[in-house]
């Protein structure tokens, strides 16, 4: 009996010594290339636990040694004893066809003993005509089969990072497979896509180690191996069964992993230790104090112990000193009294000091903040510009931020009446019950260009006094984002009325011609009558507001430019709205008054046709309204493009005259376009003629002015044509042959 006990003890010590000897032996390599070889793995006789853990280090490579799993061709890229897994570079299977239909393929397989294919892998297939399948065994289970199908269809559906079955598919790997084989095939032998992707590829890969790219369909053939995880354990005995054997490896500061429920057993270092749990005494103590991984309170001192640590409270405190799961450090009663008195005294002194400092600095800080915003928003620049222009008009009012907050209910979203490229517009009610529009500019980055643009709009509007230009009431510079206050125009924009089916019926032809006339008069005033000529640079229906009587008001001068009196044109960065931009300005960057004339010509065409200047919903030849209108006019198809909401049975002469005027405004060369003053005079003449022929047509101008403008029109025609007025070509307007044609001036 004593002899048996002695033999068992000797055998246990011998097993313990074997593990140490296998690591300490000079024949046992600890690494191969850049891969470490921890026990139970080993390279060399007697260096590994069993033949299943043999690592063959191949040094024939010119670069660096390559570790192989066992004596096969599976390359090992990493081994871990704390997670009991091993990363290998598994072969990629392929199935390829060439243009002649010849097939070349290779399908890898793996068979394992003490190792299992980790469920942290996934099975991936790449191809445009591919179905992939893998088979495996798990313990005594019969074959487990799974796979996926990948097809490309339309190339636009192939997406980077997506393995949903378009160009790439993937399948989860079942837990505990001890072997696998794969097969790849195609439905059509890649005959339809040989030039694009004649191959199918299949492989097992570790999760998060492969992200599909569309380029894989073209160049994945160069990839031979992919990283794959294998799980491993020792033998086939459970922890309880293996503890009684002589070669049980969980000794010293390591223990058997009770959470593992697969075949065999695994070791892990006890809590507070780290190292290789499969080697005796290799699990070493972790110094939590040095690593600062302890949970001692700040008022306690950490002391390291084997496998753990202790916390000691400072003098005047008691407890175990631990934050979580402990009592912490509690101050003694005398210490608490001292702390409370100290905190109370310090707090009272601090409050008194802060209150005193607050009242001293509050007023100064408030004034500095207002001054900062005033300078930041260009207040000094605005003062210089206004004082330097010699204007005699009333100065715009400077509002306080409190006034505008009350007017807009603190900028409530329900008060928003519009958003544009340069800011948001709110409806507000001032203290004197005036209804105004308040524009909050977009000056997020506070660049110099944006500040100048804001100041530009203030200066321009402060110089304008015209009934068809929206009136600037004032501004506010006390906020981070400056504000402009305008008169409120209640009836929305011209764009709302001519492009809205419900509203366009109310905009009759006489109202439209009056709106066009008023807009032309406003632009003519800006070009000719203002103290410094002003080019609007963004004329469009969205920037023409209508009041309750459909009186036009030109608005939004954020992109406008002042033109020095001695200059005809100005070099600028192109700015405006597509569809309304002067083509000559777009090419040369030379801004002139004729740029507004072109944009106004597009507005005239919108009034005539009811269509938007640019729309990609229309056929290609109709997308640009100006070009399509000119083509229709040339082909004599004016009636077909007119707005159906005008409810016309024929084409009145006034529409023909306006159409010809629009054609001249839209000429490519700026020199061939009329000026806005000439346009305004001609439109006023047309409007006056309509009033005389149709007394129900209401003109917005007084009769004397209408008579004067009518004379100006006649004089212009007489000067241009030597007293003769050209007749309209019947070929130009053949679709209107039923109508009595009025003579139209051929041009200037």
Known catalytic residues are: 538
Q: Which residues contact 365 (CB under 8 A, 6 or more apart)?
A: none
Q: DSSP label at 174?
A: P
Helix (H, G, I), strand (E, B) or coil at 590: strand
Q: Which residues are annotated as a binding site?
A: 440
Cα–Cα dist 330/320, whole Å = 9
Distances (CA, A) of 400 to 71, 76, 385, 474, 476: 86, 74, 21, 10, 6
Cβ proximity of 53 and 70 under 8 Å: no
Instruction: Kindly report the number of other CB atoms within 10 A of residue 388's CB atom.
Output: 9
Cα–Cα dist 400/704, whole Å = 44
Please spell the DSSP secondary structure of 178-216, one letter per residue.
-EEEEEEE-SSTTTTSTTT--EEEEEEEETTS----TTH
Cα 431 from chain centre: 42
Closest CA to 114 of 48, 172, 171, 174: 48
Q: DSSP label at 603?
A: H
Q: Which residues are annotated as a binding site for ATP?
A: 440
- Name residue 200's beta-bridge partners: 95
Closest CA to 184 of 226, 129, 222: 129
The angle, 0 to 180 degrees and rounded to 10, between the axes of the packed helices 653-665 and 509-524 is: 30
Closest CA to 460 of 544, 367, 386, 370: 386
Distances (CA, A) of 412 to 406, 427, 443, 519, 698: 10, 10, 20, 32, 39
Cα–Cα dist 295/306, whole Å = 16
Per-residue HEC secondary structure of 642-667 comes to CCHHHCCCCCCHHHHHHHHHHHHHCC
Cα–Cα dist 224/89, whole Å = 9
Please spell the DSSP secondary structure of 115-152, one letter per residue.
EEE-TTEEEEEE-SEEEEEEEEE-TT---EEEEEEEE-
Cα 65 from chain centre: 47
């Amino acid at each position: 009996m004593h002899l048996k006990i002695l033999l068992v003890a000797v055998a246990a010590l011998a097993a313990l010594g074997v593990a140490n000897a296998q690591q300490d032996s000079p024949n046992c390599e600890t690494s191969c290339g850049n891969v470490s070889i921890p026990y139970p793995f080993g390279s060399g006789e007697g260096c590994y636990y069993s033949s299943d853990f043999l690592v063959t280090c191949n040094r024939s490579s010119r670069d660096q040694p390559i570790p192989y799993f066992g004596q096969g061709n599976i390359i090992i890229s990493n081994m871990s004893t704390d997670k009991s897994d091993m990363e290998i570079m598994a072969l990629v299977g392929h199935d390829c066809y060439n243009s002649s239909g010849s097939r070349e393929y290779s399908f890898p397989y793996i068979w394992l003993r003490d190792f299992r294919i980790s469920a942290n892998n996934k099975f991936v297939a790449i191809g445009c005509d591919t179905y992939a399948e893998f088979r495996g065994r798990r313990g005594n289970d019969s074959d487990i089969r799974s796979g996926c199908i990948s097809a490309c269809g339309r190339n636009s559906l192939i997406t980077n990072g997506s393995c949903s079955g378009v160009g790439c598919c993937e399948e989860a790997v079942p837990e505990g497979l001890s072997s696998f084989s794969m097969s790849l095939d195609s439905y059509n032998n890649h005959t339809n896509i040989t030039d694009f992707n004649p191959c199918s590829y299949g492989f097992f890969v570790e999760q998060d180690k492969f992200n599909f790219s569309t380029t894989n369909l073209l160049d994945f053939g160069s990839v031979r191996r992919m990283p794959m995880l294998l799980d491993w354990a020792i033998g086939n005995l459970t922890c309880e069964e293996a503890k009684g054997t002589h070669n049980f490896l969980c000794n010293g500061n390591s223990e058997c992993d009770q959470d593992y429920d697969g075949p065999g057993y695994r070791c892990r270092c006890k809590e507070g230790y780290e190292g290789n749990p499969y080697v005796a005494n290799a699990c070493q103590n972790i110094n939590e104090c040095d690593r600062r991984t302890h949970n001692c309170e700040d008022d306690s001192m950490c002391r390291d112990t084997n496998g753990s640590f202790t916390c000691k409270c400072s003098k005047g405190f008691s407890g175990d000193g631990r934050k979580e799961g402990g009592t912490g450090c509690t101050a003694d009663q005398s210490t608490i009294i001292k702390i409370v008195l100290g905190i109370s005294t310090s707090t009272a002194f601090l409050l008194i000091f802060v209150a005193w400092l607050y009242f001293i600095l509050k007023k100064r800080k408030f004034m500095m903040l207002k001054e900062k915003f005033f300078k930041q928003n260009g207040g000094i620049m605005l003062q210089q510009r206004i004082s330097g222009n010699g204007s005699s008009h009333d100065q715009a009012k400077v509002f306080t931020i409190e006034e505008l907050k009350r007017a807009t209910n603190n900028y409530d979203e329900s008060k928003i009446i519009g958003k544009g490229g340069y800011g948001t517009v709110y409806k507000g009610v001032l203290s004197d019950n005036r209804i105004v529009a308040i524009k909050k500019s977009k000056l997020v980055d506070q660049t110099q260009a944006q500040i100048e643009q804001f100041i530009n709009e203030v200066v321009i509007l402060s110089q304008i006094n015209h009934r068809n230009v929206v009136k600037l009431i004032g501004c506010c510079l006390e906020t981070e984002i400056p504000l402009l206050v305008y008169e409120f125009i209640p009836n929305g924009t011209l764009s709302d009325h001519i492009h809205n089916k419900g509203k366009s019926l109310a905009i009759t032809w006489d109202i439209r011609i009056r709106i066009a006339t008023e807009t032309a008069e406003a632009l003519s005033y800006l070009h000719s009558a203002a103290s410094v000529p002003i080019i609007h640079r963004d004329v469009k229906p969205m920037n023409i507001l209508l009041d309750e009587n459909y009186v036009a008001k030109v608005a939004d001068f954020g992109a406008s430019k002042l033109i020095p009196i001695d200059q005809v044109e100005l070099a600028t960065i192109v700015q405006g709205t597509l569809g309304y931009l002067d083509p000559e300005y777009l090419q040369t960057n030379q801004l002139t008054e004729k740029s507004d004339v072109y944009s106004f010509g597009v507005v005239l065409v919108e009034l005539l046709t009811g269509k938007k200047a640019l729309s990609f919903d229309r056929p290609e030849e109709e997308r640009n309204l100006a070009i399509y209108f000119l083509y229709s006019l040339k082909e004599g198809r004016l009636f077909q493009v007119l707005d159906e909401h005008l409810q016309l049975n024929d084409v009145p002469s006034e529409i023909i005259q306006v159409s010809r005027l629009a054609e001249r405004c839209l000429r490519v060369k700026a020199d061939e376009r009329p000026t806005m003053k000439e346009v305004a005079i001609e439109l006023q003449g047309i409007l006056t003629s309509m009033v005389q022929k149709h007394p129900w047509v209401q003109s917005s101008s007084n009769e004397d002015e209408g008579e004067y403008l009518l004379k100006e029109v006649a004089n212009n025609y007489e000067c241009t044509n030597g007293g003769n007025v050209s007749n309209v070509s019947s070929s130009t307007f053949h679709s209107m042959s039923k109508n009595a044609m009025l003579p139209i001036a051929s041009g200037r």
